[in-house]
Copies of this chain bind each other. A is one copy, B any other.
Amino acid sequence: MFKEWEKLSQGSAIALDEYLSVLKYNEQGLIPAIAQQHDTGEVLMMAWMNEQSIRETLKEGQVCYWSRSRQTYWRKGESSGHRQRLVSMRADCDGDTLLLLVDQQGAACHTNRRDCFYFEVQQEQVVVLNDVDSGLA
């Protein structure tokens, strides 16, 4: 389907149920979802969703992932308060990755850094860019 859909012009629409049924989930039924702060463009984190967590996120407007380590739904911020309000959900050309534009409250990372990408991989070494708790208001 994605080969056909890639020719569609701006404004064309596909029914949600059809679209979600052909997204390319992996063997565990999961698809990677990148979370980006909608106004600043910061890439905050990447996690995984299944079809049910996609539907819940669209319905509730709060991001719900699937936790691979805990094997359960992970309503971001439920315990930490660092919730992600969904602004817009996007999918890519071949339907194997999601991009979530969100409004992140506080720190996205469990270390309380603003985002999870705090290691810079250089030629000979990897450097830590931010301190623990640096993403707290």
Tell me the A residues contacting B by CB distance below 8 Å.
5-16, 19, 32, 34, 36, 40-43, 45-46, 54, 58-59, 88-95, 97-99, 109-111, 113, 116-132, 134
Contact = CB atoms under 8 A, between A and B. Distances in A.
A129 to B, nearest CB: 7
B11 A125 contact: no
**Stoichiometry, copies per complex:** 2
Pick from A90, A120, A131 the residue with the most CB of B within 10 Å: A90
B46 A10 contact: no
Given A16-B126, A34-B34, A120 B88 contact: yes
A56 to B, nearest CB: 12
Contacts of A41: 36, 40-42
